[in-house]
């Protein structure tokens, strides 16, 4: 019996909110039954529904005064049950809810809560440039509505005021931390830990668990590490140390950085990479080039075939099929394109 009582107490402590709600419901039931029994005939409180209504408004300190006990026993019940005990239970429940919210916020601030969303941008590692990099990613049109999750071994959330930015605490090169950041459902993974060794292990582990459609961009700090990164099997992009703007541009549009710098002009135009999801049969490069220029003002200059071959300024009659990708110059990212049928 003693063990049963201890078990009930432990269960009540673990589920304090449920216990408080149940206790409050029992209080309403008992006070409603007692007040209906002790009140004299003719009192509205002898009716069960009226007694329940009175118990609720009294225990919540609303006290409309439309119904009240007229006998001394009824007043004693009112003082002991819905007034003193009801107010105490209500205050305890409100305090419990507030502490739960504070605890939840505290766990989020310290990265103790796993990320459960999907389709997010996962930034693996933290450097002095991470905050600026996250801002550049959110400014990109195709990423603006996606959550940004920072996985880093930090004491607190580095960007707590940034909307849509989440923090998961952990070593970025461990599978446990990557799983807590929900690496398997990420739409894009960017690895920039500030150490080529840590980035290498993070890359190997991320390749194991990522979704097939998810693309990985890993930042390499030393040219001596390039051969090591290149020896890792799997699909990913390796880029050298660069500014945040160039890094976002490279990971999204697969542009070779020297070429990007040469082609950038004073009109604020940028190079973008677009995959062709659907296009009519017998389409060739030059008619498509003219179509994009006349309809949208875009200047296309290179074509990537589904097998990975890249042609810069391809011959006019080069076949263009669904799954091909094109590089083009535009004032802003082309998010919606109508392809010729």
Q: Domain ranges for the chain, please list them.
A: 2-109, 121-253, 259-330
Residue 261, pLDDT score: 41
Per-residue CA distances from 144 to 132, 140, 151, 266, 339 (Å): 15, 6, 19, 25, 24
- What pLDDT is attached to residue 183? 96
2-109, CATH topology level = Helix Hairpins (1.10.287)
Per-residue pLDDT of the chain (341 residues; tens, 9 = 90+): 344 434 444 444 455 667 777 888 888 888 888 888 888 888 888 898 998 888 888 887 777 778 878 888 888 888 887 777 777 777 777 777 777 777 777 777 888 889 999 999 999 999 988 888 888 787 777 777 899 999 999 999 998 888 889 999 999 999 999 999 999 999 999 999 989 999 999 999 999 999 999 989 898 888 788 888 888 999 888 887 554 555 555 555 554 444 344 334 444 567 888 999 888 888 999 999 999 999 999 999 999 999 888 898 899 999 999 999 998 888 888 888 888 87
3-state secondary structure 34-98: HHHHHCCCCCHHHCHHHHHHHHHHHHCCCCCCCCCCCCHHHHHHHHHHHHHHHHHHHHHHHHHHH
Q: What is the pLDDT of residues 173-213, one digit of tens each?
A: 999 999 999 999 999 999 999 899 999 999 999 999 999 99
Distances (CA, A) of 42 to 37, 70, 71: 12, 10, 12
- What is the CATH architecture of 121-253? 3-Layer(aba) Sandwich (3.40)
Q: What pLDDT was estimated at residue 203?
A: 95
Report pLDDT digits (tens) over 18-60: 777 788 888 888 888 888 888 888 888 889 899 888 888 888 7
**Where would I find the H helices in 210-243?**
226-230
Query: Which CATH entry fits the domain spanning 259-330: 1.10.1220, 1.10.8, 3.30.70, 1.20.1250?
Result: 3.30.70
pLDDT of residue 245: 52
**254 near 247, Cβ under 8 Å?**
no
pLDDT of residue 240: 72
What's residue 242's pLDDT?
52
């Amino acid at each position: 019996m003693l063990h049963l009582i201890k078990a009930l107490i432990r269960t009540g402590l673990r589920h304090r909110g449920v216990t408080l709600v149940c206790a409050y419901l029992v209080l309403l039931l008992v006070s409603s039954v007692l007040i209906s029994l002790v009140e004299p005939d003719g009192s509205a409180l002898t009716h069960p529904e009226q007694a329940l209504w009175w118990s609720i408004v009294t225990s919540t300190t609303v006290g409309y005064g439309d119904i009240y006990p007229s006998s001394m026993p009824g007043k004693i019940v009112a003082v002991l049950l819905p007034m003193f005990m009801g107010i105490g239970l209500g205050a305890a429940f409100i305090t419990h809810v507030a502490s739960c919210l504070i605890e939840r916020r505290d766990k989020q601030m310290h990265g103790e809560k796993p990320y459960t969303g999907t389709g997010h941008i996962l930034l693996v590692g933290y450097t002095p440039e991470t905050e600026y990099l996250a801002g550049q990613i959110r400014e990109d049109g195709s990423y603006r509505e996606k959550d940004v999750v920072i996985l880093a071994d930090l004491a607190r959330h580095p960007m707590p005021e940034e909307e849509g930015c989440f923090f998961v605490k952990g070593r970025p090169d461990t599978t446990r931390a990557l799983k807590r950041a929900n690496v398997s459902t990420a739409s894009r993974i960017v690895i920039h830990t500030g150490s080529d060794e840590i980035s290498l292990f993070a890359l190997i582990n991320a390749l194991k668990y990522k979704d097939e459609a998810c693309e990985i961009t890993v930042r390499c700090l030393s040219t001596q590490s390039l051969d090591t990164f290149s020896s890792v099997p799997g699909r990913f992009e390796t880029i050298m140390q660069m500014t945040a703007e160039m890094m976002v541009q490279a990971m999204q549009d697969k542009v070779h950085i020297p070429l990007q710098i040469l082609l950038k002009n004073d009109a604020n135009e940028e190079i973008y990479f677009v995959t062709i999801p659907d296009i009519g049969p017998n389409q060739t490069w030059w008619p498509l080039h003219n179509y994009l220029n006349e309809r949208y003002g875009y200047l296309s200059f290179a074509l990537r075939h589904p097998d990975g071959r890249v042609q810069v300024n391809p011959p006019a009659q080069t076949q263009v099929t669904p799954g091909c990708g094109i590089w083009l110059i535009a004032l802003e990212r082309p998010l919606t394109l109508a392809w010729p049928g």
